[in-house]
Structure 1
Amino acid sequence: MVHILSIGGFLSAECAGLGDGLEMGGNTAYNGKEKGGSGHNREARSNQYLRCLYTNARSMGNKQEELELLTNKYNYDIIGITETWWDGTHDWNIGMEGYGLLRKDRQGKKGGGVALYIKNVHTWTEVEMNVGDSCVESLWVKLKGVKNEGDIMLGVYYRPPSQVEEVDEAFFKQLTKLSKAQDLVVMGDFNYPDICWETNTARHRLSNKFLDCIGDNFLFQKVEKATRGEAVLDLVLTNREELVENLKVEDSIGDSDHEIIEFMILRKGRRETSTIEVMDFRKADFDKLRELVGKVPWEARLKGKTTEESWKYFKGTLLRAQKQTIPLCRKDRKYGKRPAWLNKEILHDLKIKKESYKKWKLGQLTKDEYRQATRECRGKIRKAKAQNEIKLATGIKGNKKTFYKYIKSKRKTKDRVGPLLSEEGEAVTGNLEMAEMLNDFFVSVFTEKSGGVPNVVNTSRERVSLEDRIHKEQVKNHLGKLDVSKSPGPDEMHPRILKELIEEVSEPLAMIFEKSWQTGEIPEDWKRANIVPIYKKGNKNNPGNYRPVSLTSVPGKIMEQVIKEIICKHLEGNKVIGNSQHGFVKNKSCQTNLIAFFDKITSLVDKGEAVDVIYLDFSKAFDTVSHDILIDKLGKYNLDRATIRWVHNWLDNRSQRVVVNGSKSCWKGITSGVPQ
């Protein structure tokens, strides 16, 4: 039985903890010239074919940079690799910007492993085989074809020389099952050195069984030149002879003893066009924006208005000015971008390496001379990359965003959302449908209001002091700390804009914040959240294996910080929080908690006392926090009425929607939990 796992467009969401904001994007295709920072004036090629590369790497550990250079230069759609030699520890330096990565590592032993890189603009689904086929080192994907042309089945396979016949048979069954596809292309190292492909004959029994499988399934083998020494070990199989053309066997990656295979699949892959438009800050006229916002008489305009009315006026004024001064551009997929460490010297050495390969094949150079050219090229790449990393590390204080962006690009590629399985067992692959399904699940874990908690909003004490008023300088301080790489909430108030207009907007925001605190009225925008689903672990079909990350109003979050300062000042002054509390406490963290815990345990052990440790992990803890109990707690700690009323109203009638690749679900109410 074959299970189809659909994987749509990439979730373009970045964890704030890695230094960048969460962004939501879609897939992108271009007409005209292709975008990219490769340094080459490449004309956009027709979508009539897919450019592919295959290689047996014999360890990707020291070849990733050269693969990145080749990809940058030739703009491949599909890259198949065998013998990656990756395992669970290899999540660093394997991602390529603009490409999705699908991998299958060898389990329990070193070596082996297969991988596929697929350009993000393509829509594809993983074809997952039976659990019993786990011993077969193969990967299969279904690449979505254009309308009326069907899909393309792609596979990559590695057969170790000593593979047992039972595993061969399992692969033959896979090949037989999937060869019924309209269009099939399989690449890989099949390790049948005794096969003569001119006559389709072989000396050994297992090789003849493979030839029988190819014949029974009407497959064509397209590689004619030797790929390792004098043997044709690496093959490209297809069920339509005309489907694969322009196949070339030349050079190798790094010091691999297998040749690279390049070829074209003469079919169009369906490319998803981005519908996401973002502000183009490179072309923004910030001086004009400051002029438009700065001339507004805010005190007069906001006088006599409610908090909601004041907020809507402020928001409308800012967004209109923003529209006049900052153009929009379509959010693109980043592929073909030139690595920062790439220089002319490396490109020259790469050219020499390629020429040395051709001369070696013609007998004009010895193999040792070719290997020397390979070593020199690899050494230059490593040196340039190391120098770039040192530069990033030493300049982190002045340019933190670039440093973390580089770190993120080298980690394993981000996990896509879905496909999801409905209660009826149906696969859900559409972005909007997945967004609705995830939103339904996220709200299903909320707890209902108990209704049995005393109304502490009306029984708590009055405000303590007028010193706690919200001032312009306080707001200005918070605006200055904004991370401009973060994304806006549903109100579209971008932190970059607010920070650029720090002098112009701090006063009206202070007025709105003070009005909100005094009246307890919360603007509707501050109680709404765009939810980005982040895959955690486990089965990707299960909505329960995704964590909701909230993107809320940036001004609303500043107001939350102001209220937090008021609450913390009261709690610290009255010594409400004990020393054992480390979470959400200033100057404390998981590390301080662990150190204190370790100190306590080791002290008891040193005294010869028995120690038992019980770990508790509450499922969906943040999502199930009771609003009523939380408000009751604040009242019992004797916080003033204005603060408790504000927190109560801030938690009341909240709503959220899930966003998957730009598709937004409908709004749903939040009855418990806190934004995370």
Structure 2
Amino acid sequence: MTRKTTNNLKNTETVRRNFIDIIILTETWSRNNERFDTYKINNYQNFSVNRTTGDKGGGILVYIHKKYNAIEEDSKINDDIEFLLVKIFIGNELWHILGVYRRPQSDLENFLTELEEIISKTDVNRLIVAGDFNINVLEYNAKTSLYLDSLRSLNLHVTNGAISRDNSLLRNSGSLLDHCLINCNKKKFITLTSERIKKMSDHNMIILLMQLDKPVEFRTRLIKFKTDEKAASDDINWSLFNCEISSSHDNVDLYWESFHNLISNTVEKHTKKKIIRLPKNETTLPVWANSKYQSMLHTLNNLADKIDRLKVREKPCDSLELKYMDLNLIRNEYGSVIAKLYYKNKSLQSHKEAWKVINELSGRRKKKEQLLLYTDCGETIVDELVIANRFQDKFLSIVGQNYETDKLNNHSYFGSSMLTSFVFEEVTPVLIQNIISSLPTKSSTGYDNISTNLIKNVNELASIHLSNIFNLMISEGTYPNGLKTSLIVPIHKGDNKSNINNYRPISLLPCVDKIFEKIMFGQMSNWMEKNCLHDRFQYGFRERKGCQEAIAMALNVINRAIDENKSVAIISFDIAKAFDNVNLKILMRKLYFLGFRSLAYDLIENFLTNRKQKVKYNNSFSYVGNIYRGVPQGANGGPFLFTCMINDMKDLSTHSTLLKYADDLLLILPLENNLSDSALNKNLLIHDLNTLREYYNSNDLILNCEKSKYLIIGNNLDDELEVYLRKQNIAKCDSLMYLGFKLCTDQHIKCHVDKVAKSLASSINALRIMKKELPTSALKSFYFAHIYSHLNYCSFALLKAKSTDVDRLQKLQNKTLKIIQGLPRLFPTKELFCNIFPDSLSIIGIIYLSAIVMVKKAVETKDDSLPRITRFRESARNRNLYITPGRKRELRSDITHVGCKLFNQLPENIKSIHELSRFKKEVKSYLLQHTESLLRTRQFTSNLINL
């Protein structure tokens, strides 16, 4: 292939095909003679066509023939239409190969309807229908005089035969192609096409070419497989009721295989192929709304043109404001139309459809775009199968590698060994039923093609067999091999979508695997909690622990240091590919020390070994790859096993507090403010960092220094303090985000208020748009999901906020509630909460409720997230809490001090409630009775309300 041809092939466009082999002949001119260079793509899923440029002799030839071995049997032939998105320049005219139709005569009526729809809905200038049995060649040659009369104006030579390398026709082995051109009379064209098709043989195919005044690209028809889950569930229940599966299996794999085959075969029996044909710019609107939506696009385009004209007149400094205004204007118009179209049809007034509108308006659901990956040589990869395989290669580069060295000999952080051993408890069908009922209702499937909906429909009978399988797993210490394959979906993280490094894998596990993992690791976690084996500073994936508890602990450590006139160094660490880099040998050794031995050890080891994965991209699947390291993600097992992996970090000898939420690590080290102690500060910091580095190295984990950051809170500290890890300097920053809470060098509470206010501003704007058409129930759902959740998250930290910051959030909350009810801007706040929304807490009520619940949770679980309230006593008369007072305002206004005072003011009947959910409900009702007092509160410390 010549250099010119190679360069041309880099500029490619995607075309879809099915059972068709494509060879592309690119015409290349030389000074002495002319010749054709052939480029063949062997992949049968996609092919690329290059567009030639240059002198008038340049063109493109597409050689299409049928794969005989793929369509010999009638069962392998379907009557679907494949849209081939090919742009061809014939001379200076742009043409499209619109489709290759196989056996249209078998369904002539549908084919003609399809053709008529194409003609009526597109601005067609000329159209060619060409059909033949053996070989179809479309050739352009400026020096050849062999043309068909009807195609002379195109300079297009259509024939059936072979082409030699010197561009001469060897022979004409068959009849010329049937062909016709579309004129002004489209009806006559349809009739002529029908007559031509009737004369064709049974195995013919048709190539359809179209020339447009304005090029329009079409998309391949979407083929979806829809399962009648109700009918499938009835058949499965009937089969299980008739005991078609024997419950006397002695082997886990055989038992699971028979159970899975019964379900999968029944599902396949009730699955039908559904073909959807959409234009390239399809919308998520229902069919009845498409026409109205298309008409509105014209309005939006005019609006965009007006804004562009305004930009030219405005000053450069206002361009950013105009850009923000553009987005709001277009979303206003677009959102109003979508809401009107959805809710004009009463049949679509459902909670699910409402959230479709909400996600569309709030910008939380983006359209899926066609992915184009680029190789190092500049080649564009558009083949879905090739893309899936490239993703598989990328993801397996970590989990698919064997251990090069065994680091067990160098490991010294196992901690003390547990004397007693853990034993799995047998499960009953009732427990399985409860777990299945608690699963979210989803139609997505894993590798086994069994959805959660289907399992929930056959819950009663399937739970019997699932309990038998799990109990057999316990007795044998083996895990079914059929549940060890994960389906990986690449998710874009950000930045350039063409870079494969900007994607992370998401695992779709089989539904039954999630059930078994919930049982297995639920029992293991309960046993560790009972024996106090968990790291007390591990807040991830534990009962009554979470992000808010971790942030409360971080703020307490910071406030105590400031109360002692110290500064604080905070370092946020990032573990590179934390879950994927877990060394399974080290993990199993640690689990043994924690007490998981004998059959429990065998079951966990069998669960983690011999796992496989395959990548799904659109409708293409990659090859199956083996996994040698890492814990499975997508269910309960992965996070729990990772917490066990770093559980012995509690035994490290450090001067700092190490807060952990799964793989998120935050180091908090108090530092002396005196300049004379700067050397001591550096030594303490170096000691802790070296200890962490040695720990991660011995556990075969890698710290990502580029994503790790640190900040200093406090005054009079040496500004030249530098933090190094693995001989790399960790970047210093003014603010640090930890679990959604923003920590700053000073006034981090105000930073958090700014973050919340910014989030509320965009949500309120979307709410104002939806108010035009959406019902009040949908607006309230949006309020609690996208506004109240931001106000409530870590609201206990706002106890230290200034009154101006609290008023700022209160005004945003008032604005939201007034928009929902359509009230005027100056509507009284007191009447708003007392009469219009009597069940809604004001922002101060939300803060108090959060603080009281956090204190109650710390007392009930004896948690040290709030250390100073662990020293409390109960008397026969009251259950008041006692705390150690602080010297500075930082401790007198934090959650420990104010939260305990609020807790002590509660009635005794509420304080005595042990169930947390009931306690929270009663406290909220109690605060609602004092709404007027809460609205008058401005400063928490000096004017604490007397409930």
TM-score (norm 2): 0.38
For the structure 1 residues 9 and 657, does the alpha-carbon distance in structure 2 shift closer, same or farther, using more than 3 Å as the test? farther
The answer to whether the aligner puts 1:612 opposite 2:569 as a matched pair is: yes
- CA deviation after TM superposition for structure 1 residue 490, in Å: 1.2
CA distance in 1 between partners of 2:509 and 2:334 (Å): 46
- CA deviation after TM superposition for structure 1 residue 316, in Å: 1.1
CA distance in 2 between partners of 1:557 and 1:148 (Å): 54
The answer to whether the aligner puts 1:432 opposite 2:385 as a matched pair is: yes
Map of 1:311 onto structure 2: 256
User: Pick from 374, 377, 397: which aligns with 1:421?
Assistant: 374
User: Pick from 336, 339, 349: which aligns with 1:385?
Assistant: 339
CA distance in 1 between partners of 2:369 and 2:338 (Å): 32
CA distance in 2 between partners of 1:505 and 1:316 (Å): 13
Tell me if the contact between 1:341 and 1:388 (Cα under 8 Å) persists in the aligned partners: no
The answer to whether the aligner puts 1:585 opposite 2:533 as a matched pair is: no
For the structure 1 residues 628 and 266, does the alpha-carbon distance in structure 2 shift closer, same or farther, using more than 3 Å as the test? same
User: Pick from 198, 219, 227: which aligns with 1:271?
Assistant: 219
The answer to whether the aligner puts 1:473 opposite 2:430 as a matched pair is: yes
User: Aligned runs of 1:183-202 on 2, under 5 Å?
Assistant: none
CA distance in 1 between partners of 2:81 and 2:541 (Å): 40
User: Pick from 272, 275, 286: which aligns with 1:328?
Assistant: 272
CA distance in 2 between partners of 1:587 and 1:334 (Å): 48
For the structure 1 residues 338 and 603, does the alpha-carbon distance in structure 2 shift closer, same or farther, using more than 3 Å as the test? same
Map of 1:493 onto structure 2: 450
- CA deviation after TM superposition for structure 1 residue 265, in Å: 4.4
Tell me if the contact between 1:283 and 1:327 (Cα under 8 Å) persists in the aligned partners: no
Paired residue type of 2:254: E
- CA deviation after TM superposition for structure 1 residue 419, in Å: 2.0
For the structure 1 residues 291 and 556, does the alpha-carbon distance in structure 2 shift closer, same or farther, using more than 3 Å as the test? same
- CA deviation after TM superposition for structure 1 residue 463, in Å: 6.0
Q: Where in structure 1 are there 5+ consecutive unaligned residues?
A: 11-25, 33-41, 53-146, 151-244, 246-263, 355-374
Paired residue type of 1:295: N
Tell me if the contact between 1:417 and 1:533 (Cα under 8 Å) persists in the aligned partners: no
CA distance in 2 between partners of 1:46 and 1:413 (Å): 29
CA distance in 2 between partners of 1:2 and 1:407 (Å): 45
Paired residue type of 1:615: S
CA RMSD of aligned residues (A): 5.0
CA distance in 2 between partners of 1:305 and 1:653 (Å): 21
CA distance in 1 between partners of 2:469 and 2:117 (Å): 54
CA distance in 2 between partners of 1:9 and 1:483 (Å): 38
CA deviations 1:85-128 (Å, max 9, x no partner) are: xxxxxxxxxxxxxxxxxxxxxxxxxxxxxxxxxxxxxxxxxxxx
- CA deviation after TM superposition for structure 1 residue 502, in Å: 0.3
Aligned residues: 417
Map of 2:396 onto structure 1: 443
CA distance in 2 between partners of 1:321 and 1:383 (Å): 42
Give the share of equivalent positions with the same residue, in percent.
22
CA deviations 1:46-87 (Å, max 9, x no partner) are: 4459869xxxxxxxxxxxxxxxxxxxxxxxxxxxxxxxxxxx
CA distance in 1 between partners of 2:437 and 2:234 (Å): 18
Map of 1:291 onto structure 2: 238
CA distance in 1 between partners of 2:371 and 2:283 (Å): 27
Tell me if the contact between 1:341 and 1:385 (Cα under 8 Å) persists in the aligned partners: no
Tell me if the contact between 2:487 and 2:615 (Cα under 8 Å) persists in the aligned partners: yes
For the structure 1 residues 415 and 589, does the alpha-carbon distance in structure 2 shift closer, same or farther, using more than 3 Å as the test? farther
- CA deviation after TM superposition for structure 1 residue 593, in Å: 2.4
Map of 1:647 onto structure 2: 604
Map of 2:820 onto structure 1: none
CA distance in 1 between partners of 2:82 and 2:230 (Å): 22
CA distance in 2 between partners of 1:522 and 1:417 (Å): 38
- CA deviation after TM superposition for structure 1 residue 575, in Å: 0.9
CA distance in 1 between partners of 2:408 and 2:359 (Å): 46
User: Aligned runs of 1:53-68 on 2, under 5 Å?
Assistant: none
Q: Where in structure 2 are there 5+ consecutive unaligned residues?
A: 1-6, 17-45, 47-79, 84-98, 102-112, 124-136, 141-183, 185-211, 301-328, 634-947
Tell me if the contact between 1:438 and 1:543 (Cα under 8 Å) persists in the aligned partners: yes
- CA deviation after TM superposition for structure 1 residue 622, in Å: 1.7
Tell me if the contact between 2:582 and 2:629 (Cα under 8 Å) persists in the aligned partners: yes
- CA deviation after TM superposition for structure 1 residue 386, in Å: 8.7
For the structure 1 residues 648 and 380, does the alpha-carbon distance in structure 2 shift closer, same or farther, using more than 3 Å as the test? closer
Tell me if the contact between 2:255 and 2:469 (Cα under 8 Å) persists in the aligned partners: yes
- RCO comparison, higher one (Cα < 8 Å, 6+): 1
CA deviations 1:227-253 (Å, max 9, x no partner) are: xxxxxxxxxxxxxxxxxx9xxxxxxxx
User: Aligned runs of 1:495-510 on 2, under 5 Å?
Assistant: 495-510=452-467
CA distance in 2 between partners of 1:617 and 1:474 (Å): 38
| Structure whose CA Rg is larger | 2
- CA deviation after TM superposition for structure 1 residue 149, in Å: 11
Tell me if the contact between 1:460 and 1:641 (Cα under 8 Å) persists in the aligned partners: no
User: Aligned runs of 1:530-545 on 2, under 5 Å?
Assistant: 530-545=487-502
Paired residue type of 1:315: H
Tell me if the contact between 1:604 and 1:611 (Cα under 8 Å) persists in the aligned partners: yes
- CA deviation after TM superposition for structure 1 residue 630, in Å: 1.4
For the structure 1 residues 487 and 388, does the alpha-carbon distance in structure 2 shift closer, same or farther, using more than 3 Å as the test? closer
Give the secondary-structure state (helix, strand or coil) at the position aligned to 2:571: coil
Paired residue type of 2:402: E
User: Aligned runs of 1:227-246 on 2, under 5 Å?
Assistant: none
